[in-house]
Chain A
Amino acid sequence: MLTNDRGPVLEFQKRTGYLLVAALLGHLLLISAQVSSQQGASVLETTIFGALSRVQALTAWVTQGVTGAWGNYVALKGHRARADALQLQVDRLGVELQHANSQARRAEQLEQLLHLQRTELPATMAARVIAADPAAAFRTVTIDKGASDGVRRDMAVLSPLGVVGRVIDEPAAHAAKVQLIIDRNAGAGAFIDRTGAGGVVVGADSDAPLRMEYVSNLSDVAIGDLVMTSGLDGIYPRGYVIGRIEKAERGSSIYKLIAIRPRVDFSSLDTVLLVTGPQPAAALPARTAAAPGPATATTPRASTPVTPAPRQASPLQTPAAPAPRQSSPPPAPLTPTPRPSTTPPTPPTTPAPVP
């Protein structure tokens, strides 16, 4: 036995030893309960989360006040030129918007002529991001809206630039946890906009934070192609931008190895939108037939590849712009990329959960 001048090295009070054993056993039981039931220790976790999220909201308010005072009063020198440039950009976008509106009206008329189901905007609710995950291994954020605001588990979370993630765990009264789509346990049904090739986008611990799986080696995939949500996972509405393909290689199996650069800048999320209302009607037939259950926190990659019909690129899809920090006022509801009116409904497929 190891000893020193004060006696055996590892001789400590018995009470401490018992306490250690009890604490370790308690933790192991807690972990086992969650892993075996897949439900999570909702009461304990929600209580601690609810209490600490209040402190987080207060800290975020103070921090934002300090940084806001600096940004709004001190750091505004030399922004005149930037404002002029942005005004020019607004003018140019106004013209583009007029063109897009006329195209949308035309598409609407064609939809009516062909008796197609209308694509509608989902109802959204703005929320502010107040904190990040304390562990670097997970990519989650805390938002300042919770169960009392109508937030529920598995609600999709979007931003004006694209898909952000989904609500995981039971939300507290005034806060909820959002799993970002770049988390290694996150997943979403997706398709490549140019060709319609379907697959599943999952988080990756690599340079490109997303990868697309289950896209056949025979599919036409090019670098720069836009990847969008297919709506077949039952969480994310169809037609929202996930990102652009950064790398596409032929895989050793039958599927390609595709790396995606997300459109949303996850390091500067400020305000996000929760999808509270019904999803676009256009995607309903496929989802109703598939009837997938909401993915659990530990097994979210619950989709098999789906192959929507080939589609034309939409005129409204703009190239990926550098992600600006989203402004503090709640942004306007998102405009989903309109589907071409001639596209037939997606064939029903049944997603099978991946263990």
Chain B
Amino acid sequence: MTRLLLAGAAIVAALMLQTVVGYQLFGRVIAIDLVLVVVVATALFYGPTAGMVSGTVAGLCQDALSGGVLGVAGLAKTLAGFVAGVVATQFIVSSVIPRGVVFFAMTWLHGVCFLGLYAMIERHGIGRPWRQLLVQSLLNAAVGVLATRIIERGPEWWRRRQYTRRAEGRRLVR
């Protein structure tokens, strides 16, 4: 239940950052797909089922807020979440580089699915924005690695900091 709530809150926060805060502060859509980062991170932490379910929910929400066809981002994110979860269960992806590679590869998988589906649905499709996709993959990898590191090491670092402060306080009192 806690996992579900955490993943849901992370998806909503990513959507709001992507659509509202990014637009209000920078005046345009930011190049990072934060929703995909959350889906892949959920898959890395909780496995393929959680990745798949979070991908479905996040993708459908993204489609509903977007001007596109409902289900396209949903399908692409479901697949990306599932594959990321399978990779995380079969390989060790706890260090920086393998984790960055997972985020990078999942962005490409998502992008190819998204563009491919639109190429089938629409007459002209979206085109082949490979350069934007490359930039997005690199940014997603950087943000994803950083975010997962913070989630993993943040609480420990905070506890240590509190402990050190308390110890210093005691030393000063003596």
Chain A residues within CB distance 8 Å of chain B: 4, 6, 9-10, 12-13, 15-16, 19-20, 23-24, 27-28, 30-31, 34-35, 40-41, 44-45, 48-49, 52-53, 55-56, 59-60, 63-64, 67, 129-142, 168-169, 177, 179, 183-185, 205, 267-268, 297-298, 355
A16 to B53, CA, bound (A): 10
Q: Is B126 an interface residue (CB 8 A)?
A: yes
Contact of A133 with B67 in the complex, beta carbons under 8 Å: yes
Contact of B16 with A35 in the complex, beta carbons under 8 Å: no
A318 to B139, CA, bound (A): 42
A286 to B121, CA, bound (A): 34
Contact of A20 with B122 in the complex, beta carbons under 8 Å: no
Contact of A30 with B61 in the complex, beta carbons under 8 Å: no
Contact of A132 with B23 in the complex, beta carbons under 8 Å: yes
A138 to B121, CA, bound (A): 15
Q: Taking A23-B78, A41-B70, A67-B25 as contacts, is the C-beta distance between A136 and B31 under 8 angstroms?
A: yes
A55 CB to closest chain B CB (Å) equals 6
Contact of A45 with B67 in the complex, beta carbons under 8 Å: no
A13 to B85, CA, bound (A): 12
Contact of A134 with B65 in the complex, beta carbons under 8 Å: yes
Q: Is B134 an interface residue (CB 8 A)?
A: no
* Closest Cβ neighbor of A136 among chain B residues: B29
Contact of B78 with A67 in the complex, beta carbons under 8 Å: no
Residues of B107-159 at the interface with A, using a CB-CB cut-off of 8 Å, are: 114, 117-118, 121-124, 126-127, 129, 132, 136
Contact of A140 with B22 in the complex, beta carbons under 8 Å: no
A126 CB to closest chain B CB (Å) equals 18
With most chain A CB atoms within 10 A of its CB, the pick from B52, B71, B72, B126 is: B71
B-chain residues with CB within 8 Å of residue A133 when the two chains form the complex: 19, 29, 65-67
Contact of B71 with A34 in the complex, beta carbons under 8 Å: yes
A50 CB to closest chain B CB (Å) equals 9
**A-B pairs with beta carbons under 8 A, tally:** 158
A-chain residues with CB within 8 Å of residue B101 when the two chains form the complex: none
A-chain residues with CB within 8 Å of residue B25 when the two chains form the complex: 63, 67
Checking A6, A31, A49, A140 against B75 with a beta-carbon cut-off of 8 angstroms, the contacting residue is: A31
Checking A4, A44, A131, A140 against B20 with a beta-carbon cut-off of 8 angstroms, the contacting residue is: A131
Please encode chain B, from 1 to 37, with 1 for each CB lying within 8 Å of some chain A CB and 0 for all others. 0000000000010011011111111011101000100
Contact of A10 with B86 in the complex, beta carbons under 8 Å: yes
Q: Is B56 an interface residue (CB 8 A)?
A: yes
A37 to B136, CA, bound (A): 33
A53 to B90, CA, bound (A): 39
Contact of B21 with A35 in the complex, beta carbons under 8 Å: no
Contact of A177 with B70 in the complex, beta carbons under 8 Å: no
A168 to B24, CA, bound (A): 22
Contact of B15 with A52 in the complex, beta carbons under 8 Å: yes
A-chain residues with CB within 8 Å of residue B69 when the two chains form the complex: 31, 34-35, 40
Checking A12, A30, A44, A132 against B19 with a beta-carbon cut-off of 8 angstroms, the contacting residue is: A132
Q: Is B73 an interface residue (CB 8 A)?
A: yes
A41 to B64, CA, bound (A): 10
Contact of B67 with A136 in the complex, beta carbons under 8 Å: no
Q: List 13 A-B contacts (CB under 8 A).
A: A19-B52, A20-B52, A34-B70, A40-B70, A44-B64, A45-B64, A48-B60, A48-B65, A55-B12, A132-B29, A169-B67, A205-B126, A355-B123
Checking B27, B124, B127 against A267 with a beta-carbon cut-off of 8 angstroms, the contacting residue is: B27
